[in-house]
Structure 1
């Protein structure tokens, strides 16, 4: 069993709030983590993909009102959209009886439905926590190439071989396209969405060009924006916004777009082993997206991530605005001898970050230039997590 770094955060939130929503893509390990927590005390687990369990909640208040002293785990909770009003009533009744925390753990495969349904009815009664795929600290730093190639979904990362991992990821993509995504939005042809997802993988880490994507798919720019919103809400794609600073220069306004799990990037592009990846044009942006996702899994809550780029070519790959108003600049270089371009130094003069790092493939930590450190991904993750 690989210990999840999110586990302690989840336990803390359960001690503070009557309900906690644990969000993440399918097969990321939400149910495994919830059942591991359930061994700590009296719990009731209901899988809302099971017709038998759904039937128990035909009258949710009647079934749940006698479980005030237990933690009720509701898996795939978006399948019962009318449940949240009942949960609000049960939480308020429980508070009057002294049950103020650890009432409901809600598991959902997307953010948008939970946020939309619970925005008013559970306001002040719910906390949200995202469970991402395995990160490098959980999987251990020495597994970095396997984690990068296969991605962090447990069944993919822990597969017996690269070939079996690829089979799992291809079937994961197919299941999402044909079965899961239609639950969350308007009916979209699976083949169209696959083409769109593959186009995003080809342009991994590039600036969003909706009109170009629209031409490639034969749809409108508005339709492309809808497809992208859906994949972002399903926690499968990251839209990294530009950071706007009052520097008197023309700044890029389009976001950068990343398929969040590197293993899915490689499956969409047919990259089935590390040798093929090392020779593929996507290697640099794949590494960049992999590193960004790993850093975000350990960043302090309320950290805002973005990038900086001017029309003149000044650029920083990642800017992290910390809750303590500290600003970190991070550049990503795949290789053992990182070199910084002029654009990074110009951008650094513009935004004046408190710390500057270059994440590279080596393990040594050293000064690359005045105020700039070369550092491994695992070491920077540990430093970020310690804040």
Structure 2
């Protein structure tokens, strides 16, 4: 079992709310994490993947809650939204915190029931696959990424050196805990089963897709576009479906936690922003499997290496926020003159620009677009170029080259 950064946040949140909900893709370790958190205070456990338990939860929620009494972990609760009203009644009678720990893999089933029924009673946190910090045993010291001098000094003390082959090996393998425990020899079998067992089943539950072959082509087309601006028309043409279908299918992937849409930064002072979001797969191993890269060296040398590196870095930064129980205040900038900044971290006081480069010798040109942010009407803080330098080094008074190992 890998220690997870989210552990302390879960315990803190559970002490303040009667209901805790952990969402995220299947197989990222939600149940394992809750079981690890429950070691000192044992809890009942039930999963609604069990058809008998699911049938009882759907037909008689009150009896279900008498059968599995609090404190309790209820796994895959999206299969029985009928439970939300019964849980509300119970926590309204008993005001104590930490009664229910819930997990769910399908936000499209969960969020409506939660917001309508358990508003004010539930804390919702997101879990993704293993972060680099968690894989390296730095789970307890991981902090949300922001390229300030204070964060850089802290990261310098904690980080472990990461070579080009180390990073691309991690990109190719992916971040699922079970796969990292089994090793690279299990990769193809794991991802093939993952697509057949989880993705297709979850999508089938929601969209009732009859043409699984077309959906598999769609998955591959989305993976091939990771790190790019989202173009629904191009995506639909590649799979021979209409735009409406492409939007519906991508929406399911997004709400399942498989893809992330990074939004452009908007400002009233500029009207030239490109409004399409950028598309990122949240697990690079799954994206690499779908796009048929047979091993890490071929991926590193291939045409998608830059996009995959950017995808991995963005997902690591997202994890640094989500696994600390925080929203990820991340955007990108691109205007009609094709001037682009890969990532903007929007804090309360400033915008922090970030470029992601596959180089060990970043030039001063790597930060050339940072100056365009001055017209956005918000203070611009220190910038960063994430790359393969061995240690942090200044590129200018306001921009630092940072090793990817700092993430």
Q: CA deviation at 1:130?
A: 0.6
Q: CA deviation at 1:56?
A: 5.1
Structure 2 counterpart SS, 1:20: strand
Paired residue for 1:350?
Answer: 375
Paired residue for 1:122?
Answer: 118
Separation in 1 of the partners of 2:350 and 2:270?
A: 22
Asked whether 1:336 is paired with 2:360, we answer: yes
Structure 1 counterpart SS, 2:15: helix
Separation in 1 of the partners of 2:271 and 2:397?
A: 25
Instruction: Return 5+ residue gaps in structure 1 as ranges.
Output: 382-387
Asked whether 1:370 is paired with 2:397, we answer: yes
Separation in 1 of the partners of 2:108 and 2:199?
A: 17
Change in 2 beyond 3 A, CA 1:370/1:348? farther
Paired residue for 1:17?
Answer: 17
Asked whether 1:49 is paired with 2:49, we answer: yes
Paired residue for 1:316?
Answer: 341
Separation in 2 of the partners of 1:325 and 1:345?
A: 17
Paired residue for 1:297?
Answer: 319
Asked whether 1:307 is paired with 2:332, we answer: yes
Paired residue for 1:384?
Answer: none
Paired residue for 2:5?
Answer: 5
Separation in 1 of the partners of 2:341 and 2:230?
A: 17
Question: Structure 1 length normalisation: TM-score?
Answer: 0.91
Paired residue for 1:182?
Answer: 204
Asked whether 1:150 is paired with 2:173, we answer: yes
Matched length: 373
Q: CA deviation at 1:377?
A: 2.8
Separation in 1 of the partners of 2:3 and 2:318?
A: 18
Q: CA deviation at 1:185?
A: 3.1
Change in 2 beyond 3 A, CA 1:206/1:55? closer
Paired residue for 2:61?
Answer: 60
Q: CA deviation at 1:249?
A: 4.9
Paired residue for 1:216?
Answer: 238
Separation in 1 of the partners of 2:208 and 2:190?
A: 26
Instruction: Return 5+ residue gaps in structure 2 as ranges.
Output: 137-159
Does the CA-based 8 Å contact 2:220-2:290 persist in structure 1? Answer: yes
Change in 2 beyond 3 A, CA 1:38/1:56? farther
CA deviation digits over 1:300-344, x for unaligned, max 9? 62342110001112211011112x333211110012112334752
Structure 1 counterpart SS, 2:273: coil
Separation in 2 of the partners of 1:226 and 1:198?
A: 16
- Report which stretch shifted further, 55-64 or 368-377: 55-64
Asked whether 1:226 is paired with 2:248, we answer: yes
Paired residue for 2:128?
Answer: 132
Separation in 2 of the partners of 1:11 and 1:319?
A: 30
Runs of 4+ in 1 over 4 A off after TM superposition: 65-68
Change in 2 beyond 3 A, CA 1:26/1:370? same
Change in 2 beyond 3 A, CA 1:136/1:188? farther
Does the CA-based 8 Å contact 1:205-1:285 persist in structure 2? Answer: yes
Asked whether 1:327 is paired with 2:323, we answer: no
Separation in 2 of the partners of 1:170 and 1:355?
A: 43
Does the CA-based 8 Å contact 1:314-1:343 persist in structure 2? Answer: no
Question: Structure 2 length normalisation: TM-score?
Answer: 0.86
Separation in 1 of the partners of 2:109 and 2:21?
A: 11
Does the CA-based 8 Å contact 2:355-2:366 persist in structure 1? Answer: no
